[in-house]
Amino acid sequence: MNINNDKNHDARFPFPLPPRPNAELAMVHNALWLQGEEQVFHPGEEINAVKGDEKSLYLFTEGHFTFVRVSDGLVIASVRGGLIYGIAECMRPRGGCALRVEEACTGRVVSAQRAFEIFTQQQLWESVAHLLAWFVQNITMREEHLVGVSAYVMIRSKLLELNLQPTEYRAQQNVADYIMDRTQLARSTIMAILSELRRGDYVEIKRGKLIAVKNLPKDY
């Protein structure tokens, strides 16, 4: 089993992405993998860890996923590579967020009750704590970029974030839609700032797709 752990980090990003807990992720994956039932997931599919009385953890060795707020679809965070989803929700069900699959992939679904038994038997709760801390870091990083800052700072951070995505992914994303899905800024505000950045040759955008980000100013 090969877990791709390096797709969520890039030194060019001015706000370093939280380092993935590679060793802990591998340990928990290895302990649970054979306990799970294989399942194919399709782009756009939303995963909820708790369905009625059924609680499940979802294990992936690779893929592209976004955490979305159920009430309005706001994108909270995006991750690529190996992932275990559902631990926090199964421990403290709330139903506020879901995991959306962005690329077709295969994963395994494990009963939360069985998973928690294994965590205790194999003394894995410390590793689980590292995984949960990483999730918290990803969520709080979004707050650093979007809460109490100007619309320009929000847009700048999302442009830099999008610029780190693979070329084939950027080729499918409308820049304004990408930013709006993650900030809920008005389209008119986003378009006005993007227009200024294009005019100043800070970004290259063609047919709504981000081609390149140059030296973006910190302030607008």
**Count of H helices and E strands in the chain?**
8, 11
Sort strands 75-80 and 105-111 into parallel, antiparallel or unpaired: unpaired
Picking from 181, 185, 179, 175, the residue whose alpha carbon sits closest to that of residue 205 is: 175
Model's pTM, two decimal places? 0.82
Q: Which domains does the chain have, with CATH numbers?
A: 22-146 (2.60.120.10), 151-213 (1.10.10)
pLDDT tens profile 152-183: 999 999 999 999 888 999 999 999 999 999 99
> Residue 126 is encoded by which pair of tokens?
């410390």
Phi and psi dihedrals of 145, rounded to 5? -85, -25
pLDDT tens profile 19-31: 889 999 999 999 9
Q: Is the dihedral of CA 73, 77, 83, 88 positive or negative?
A: negative
